[in-house]
C-alpha cells in the first residue's frame, strides 16, 4: 500500500515524539511491504515565528491532499499571552475545521503493569477499557465571542451553540463503535441546565431507539466526572460535546498513569484523519530527550487502523507497546530512566 502522511511536529516535545512515531511507521512499512511517504510542515508556535500565522493555507492544502496527518503538540511560554491575536492553538482549530473532522477518539485502557503509576487503587483500574468520543466542531470553542466595556464592568461572552446534525453524526459514530466493543454508549450532557444539552439528549435518545442492540445511558457531566474516578470500568463508549470532552479526557488520562501514554484520532466523514497524543508541548522537558513517545506511537497505530484500514499493522504496534511496558520499559514520567529514543527502540525491537 502507498500512503502520503503529513507530519506537523509542532512545538516543545512535539518534534521529539513525532519523530519516534515516524520511525515506528517506517518499520511497519518495511515489515509489511508498504510505501509510506512523510512530508513535514510547520504548525503552531513555530509557524507563527516563520509565517506569522499558526497554520498557513499552503500547509492546510497539503494536509487535505494527504491520506493522514500526524500531529505533535503546539504552544509554549513564548506564545502564551492569552490576549495575543495569533496563538498556536488557532492552528489546531483551523486544521480541524479545514479537514472537517468532527469526532475526537481517545481510548483509555490502563496497562496492568502500570497500575501503580496511577493515583487510583489497582482494583479501581481492573477491566477499564473506555473509548471517549469528543465532538470537535461546535460548542463554546467555535461559538460567537465578544468582549465589551459596560457601565457595570468588562463583559465577556462565549456562545455555546449546536446544530442537531453535529450531534447526530458524532453520536451515530459512537453507536457504530460500541457495536464492535461491549455494546454500551454513555451520552454525557448537562440537560438539567443547558438548552444545547437538552437538544443533545433528545438527539441521542432518538439514535439510541434506532439501535436497540446497543445500550444507551444518559449521564450529567458532573456525575460522569465522578464516575470516571469511582468506577471507570463501568464505561464502554462515552460520547459528549466539545468542552466536556476536553475536560473529561484529560481527567481520564490519570487512569493510564501518565498523559504521555494516551493517543487520539480526530475523524471526519471521508477526508484525512488527524492523529496526535493527548499531551501538550511540555516545554519544561523539551530538548532533554526524556519525553514519553508512547502516546504518539499509539496514535500512529490509530492512523493505520482508521485512515489506512491496516488493522493487522495497527495491532502489531499496540502489541509491541504492551510487550515493552510488560517488560519493564519506562520513561521518566512512569518512574523509569529510558530516553525518548530508547523507549521507541524497545518498542521497535518488539515489532
Just list the catalytic residues.
Answer: 141, 190, 222, 246, 250
Q: Report the C-alpha gap between 272 and 294 in whole angstroms.
A: 22
3-state secondary structure (DSSP) of residue 15: helix
- 340-349 vs 14-32: helix crossing angle, rounded to 10: 20
* Partner residues linked to 188 by β-bridges: 219, 240
Q: By CB neighbour count within 10 A (0-12 exposed, 13-18 middle, 19+ buried), where does 141 fall?
A: middle
Q: Report the C-alpha gap between 203 and 211 in whole angstroms.
A: 13
Extract the C-alpha cell encoding 120: 487510583
The answer to whether residues 274 and 95 touch, using CB atoms and an 8 Å cutoff, is yes
Instruction: List Cα–Cα distances, 217 to 183, 186, 234, in angstroms.
Output: 11, 5, 11
Which residue, 106, 131, 136, is CA-closest to 299? Answer: 106
Q: How many residues does the chain have?
A: 351
Amino acid at each position: 500500500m502507498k500512503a502520503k502522511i503529513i507530519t506537523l511536529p509542532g512545538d516543545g516535545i512535539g518534534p521529539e515524539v513525532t519523530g519516534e512515531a515516524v520511525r515506528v511507521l517506517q518499520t511497519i512499512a518495511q515489515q509489511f511491504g508498504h510505501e509510506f511517504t512523510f512530508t513535514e510542515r510547520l504548525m503552531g508556535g513555530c509557524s507563527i515565528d516563520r509565517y506569522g500565522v499558526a497554520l498557513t493555507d499552503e500547509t492546510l492544502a497539503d494536509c487535505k491532499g494527504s491520506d493522514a496527518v500526524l500531529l505533535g503538540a503546539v504552544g509554549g511560554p513564548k506564545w502564551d499571552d492569552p490576549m495575543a491575536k495569533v496563538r498556536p492553538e488557532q492552528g489546531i482549530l483551523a486544521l480541524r475545521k479545514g479537514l472537517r473532522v468532527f469526532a475526537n477518539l481517545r481510548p483509555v485502557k490502563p496497562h496492568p503493569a502500570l497500575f501503580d503509576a496511577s493515583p487510583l487503587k489497582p482494583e479501581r483500574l481492573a477491566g477499564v477499557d473506555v473509548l471517549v468520543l469528543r465532538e470537535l466542531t461546535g460548542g463554546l470553542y467555535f461559538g460567537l465571542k465578544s468582549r465589551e466595556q459596560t457601565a457595570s464592568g468588562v463583559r465577556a461572552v462565549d456562545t455555546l451553540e449546536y446544530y442537531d446534525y453535529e450531534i447526530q453524526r458524532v453520536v451515530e459514530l459512537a453507536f457504530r463503535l460500541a457495536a464492535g466493543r461491549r455494546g454500551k454508549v454513555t451520552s454525557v450532557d448537562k440537560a438539567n441546565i443547558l438548552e444545547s444539552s437538552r437538544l443533545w439528549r433528545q438527539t441521542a435518545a432518538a439514535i439510541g431507539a434506532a439501535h436497540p442492540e446497543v445500550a444507551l445511558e444518559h449521564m450529567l457531566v458532573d456525575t460522569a466526572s465522578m464516575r470516571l474516578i469511582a468506577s471507570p470500568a463501568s464505561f464502554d463508549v462515552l460520547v459528549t460535546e466539545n468542552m466536556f470532552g476536553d475536560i473529561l479526557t484529560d481527567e481520564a488520562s490519570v487512569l493510564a498513569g501518565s498523559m504521555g501514554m494516551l493517543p487520539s484520532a480526530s475523524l471526519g466523514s471521508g477526508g484525512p484523519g488527524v492523529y496526535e497524543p493527548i499531551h501538550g508541548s511540555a516545554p519544561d522537558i523539551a530538548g532533554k530527550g526524556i519525553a514519553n513517545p508512547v502516546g504518539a506511537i499509539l496514535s500512529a497505530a490509530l492512523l493505520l487502523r482508521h485512515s489506512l484500514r491496516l488493522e493487522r499493522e495497527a495491532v502489531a504496534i499496540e502489541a509491541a507497546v504492551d510487550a515493552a511496558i510488560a517488560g519493564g520499559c519506562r520513561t521518566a514520567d512512569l518512574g523509569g530512566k529510558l530516553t525518548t529514543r530508547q523507549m521507541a527502540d524497545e518498542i521497535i525491537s518488539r515489532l
